[in-house]
Structure 1
């Protein structure tokens, strides 16, 4: 059913065309409208609940792409690659590629808040996925345009393993296995030279050390420790 506001209906139809979908597709336009409405623009009819659904949808879509294209990957690799694909940075990047900010209704301070723009775009992108999924109760309206992005990015990540987010992958594993987050301890290495790693990090689970690593920044050191830990607990790579 079309929206009661012709101008908004035309806007959303324009977005659907950008996604490569037909405006005749079984789209629940009222859900798509909500998916592109920030809480500052409406207290009730906004994207928050759809974002919750979309968070699960985007993870499912990424998992299916990896399963269909990289049968040789371990589950650990799947988790590490997916953590990058579904990150706010990547989702906001995809949102910008379709000009999603042009369709997002915002009000108040959000109209000038540049700092929170990435998070808003990522949230709205997930909400759009939620609206499209609920329109058909499957990925029919999502696979055609999202899969090519994920396939391309996954290929790039596999060629450059340094882009893998091992901290996110390790966190996902510990939450799935033990319902807890890993703990990081970081210390600065004394008198480092310009070329040396400046920080040393340990990652622990239930007080037991899973891994350690060094880096030129706290984030790099934690990522290095997380990589050691994650590779030690994830399933071995198939030949």
Structure 2
């Protein structure tokens, strides 16, 4: 079993938890006392299934998904009480997305805590996914300390406040494909066609894929990305910015 935490691992985990800067006396006390059952929960949040098929972060990740959505809803209720339900759903989708989780995981440098098996260690394609999943499992573990979202909100609210402001100032940058589709529909056009060309076989290459967007038979924009999805999103963003500059949106 992987979930055996020795003194070195406990110290590594507590140092990491301190770096999250969660301003809670009871959370600080848990870190100070290094409660073994709590340390085991946090350790499990960092174990990938390639290392241990039984004791890994999958259950905490599943739990963390629900906790994250509840904590985000709580943040939006406090910060933006006048928002409509539709606007709340749209904002929440951005601040609990897989991409957001991966960025948070990178920011807190969670990768240094993650334990992977040999197969996952050599898989660059899964790196970002694992970072996001472990971050969600960590959120589940923080909740489990007291069966309360209080510490989750104390940790994430300041981050969400900054990220929400960025999103609300220019939402099209985060949902460019949806905005473009809605614009086409409003003009009576067919839906945009995304044409992908692979230029490189190198994982992580920011110019691995090129995407051209065609509307009504005409090429309107193009952009690169390290994945199909990223190339399409980037091309849509380029076109939306072009339409805004031309006063068409």
Q: Is TM > 0.5 for Structure 1 vs Structure 2?
A: yes
2:108 paired with 1:98: yes
**What pairs up with 1:216-235 in 2 under 5 angstroms?**
220=236
Structure 1 residue 48, shift from structure 2 partner: 0.5
- Asked if 2 retains the 8 angstrom alpha-carbon contact of 1:12 and 1:32, the reply is yes
TM-score of the aligned structures, taking structure 1 as reference length: 0.69
- Asked if 2 retains the 8 angstrom alpha-carbon contact of 1:81 and 1:164, the reply is no
Structure 1 residue 165, shift from structure 2 partner: 3.7
- Between 1 and 2, higher relative CO (CA 8 Å, sep ≥ 6) is seen in 1
Moved over 6 A (4+): none
2:43 paired with 1:33: yes
In structure 1, the residue matched to 2:123 is: 113
2:162 paired with 1:162: no
Q: 1:157 to 1:190 in 2, by over 3 A?
A: closer
- Asked if 2 retains the 8 angstrom alpha-carbon contact of 1:36 and 1:46, the reply is yes
2:96 paired with 1:80: no
- Asked if 1 retains the 8 angstrom alpha-carbon contact of 2:48 and 2:114, the reply is yes
2:32 paired with 1:24: yes
Measured against aligned partners, the alpha-carbon deviations of 1:172-202 in whole angstroms (never above 9, x if no partner) come to: xxxxxxxxxxxxx765545415xx379xxxx
- Asked if 2 retains the 8 angstrom alpha-carbon contact of 1:31 and 1:131, the reply is yes
Of Structure 1 and Structure 2, the greater helix share is in 2
Q: Distance in 1 between matches of 2:161 and 2:65?
A: 19
Q: Distance in 1 between matches of 2:171 and 2:99?
A: 17
Please tell me the root mean square deviation across aligned C-alpha atoms, in Å: 2.9
Q: Which runs of 5+ in 1 are unaligned?
A: 169-184, 199-215, 225-239
